[in-house]
Amino acid sequence: MMFQRLTLLASLTVLPLLAACTQTTDSSPATPALDPAVVGPGAQAALEDVERTREKHKEQATTMAVLSFFDPIGITALAKPAMEAEQRKEIDEKYQRVEEELRKTIAEVEAAKASNPRKGKAAAKPKKQESSMKPAEEAQAE
């Protein structure tokens, strides 16, 4: 009888955890869609890789939390700092790749501006404002 109550109690405590593990809520802000014409394909791929890595790390953290609940001797407490250090190292490498790709994209844009100086100057010149007076009013003003 006591064993049945213990089993029932254990299943009642585990069910909310399992429900929480299957939900896919995202607390991070949505990444805006990137225009491929503005950001190069390499930078866009690097940003997508960072996003996949973040999702993987969230899953690992959730798994570690569930495992720590069932760990009577505390081995997960020893493994958690090592896992977090490895995750930080991995995400730092991913961000370095993003920075490199963005630097390449910026260099390409600067090179394009340098090779076509007239286009850059034309955009920088202010346009002449047209007269707001009608031709008949201009003749009277003269």
Give the whole-angstrom CA distance, residue 87 versus residue 79: 12
Q: Around Cβ 46, how many Cβ atoms within 10 Å?
A: 21
State mean pLDDT over 131-142: 53
pLDDT, tens digit (0-9, with 9 covering 90-100), for 68-125: 888 888 888 889 999 999 999 999 999 999 999 999 999 988 998 999 877 555 555 5
Query: Could you give the residue ranges of the DSSP H alpha helices within 23-134?
Result: 41-69, 75-115, 117-124
The helix (run of H) or strand (run of E) holding residue 16 is helix 2-22
For 83, residues 6+ apart whose C-beta sits below 8 A from its C-beta are 60, 64
